[in-house]
Amino acid sequence: MSKQDLAGKAIVVTAGGTQEPIDPVRHIGNRSSGKMGYAIAEASRDRGARVTLITAPTALPDPPGIKIVHIITADEMRSAVLEAVSQAEALIMAAAVSDYRVEGPAEQKIKREHGRIILELVPTADILSEVPDNIRKIGFAAESENLIINAKIKLERKRLDMIVANDITDPESGFNVDTNRVILIDKTGSVDELPLMSKREVAEVILDRVAGMM
């Protein structure tokens, strides 16, 4: 039986990769499978928390016993997160939210006959920076270089309690796999490099830290 150290706590978890439309058929997306976020949501539920999972499109089934909010775009993710955290004590932002969206996506499918097209991209909202500081905020940093440096910058800029960093160039901790090798960095400057684990095991370690914060 799982420990119940999160009993009665309300936790919001995000998962998957947002999709930003180019036209009604195409989108800009990323390779996130959602597996890490879903593992955290399920582990939180099993430890007694009331869980809201805000998920971009994935191939994963909705886990039972969890409130599921399906979204597609970064803007929809922002709205859902800001609404959900108003009743929560912690946010674990495992989703891969697009940093850019297409300005003025086409209303009709763009035909090949149009030839070369140029997409103008504009930044999406920084969701974590808008979440109140009274909420425990856990972010993720999926990086391809300078992992710890980039993660620490993100931790400070977004005023996070902890960030979970992983190297996406590592085939065992990249996209669409069941394992992860992460580094946990908290706002005190502590850096904890974890060995290769299943994503459920990583979720449990993250939740150990979250439970300690609360």
Query: Catalytic amino acids?
Result: 30
- How many CA atoms within 13 Å lie on the side-chain side of 115? 0
Provide the terminal-to-terminal Cα distance of the chain, rounded to the nearest Å: 21
Beta strands in 24-181 (DSSP E): 27-28, 50-55, 67-70, 90-93, 100-102, 121-123, 136-143, 162-167, 179-180
Dihedral Cα 160, 164, 165, 169, nearest 10 deg? -140
Nearest to 8 by CA among 36, 43, 47: 47
Phi and psi torsions of 54, nearest 5°: -100, 115
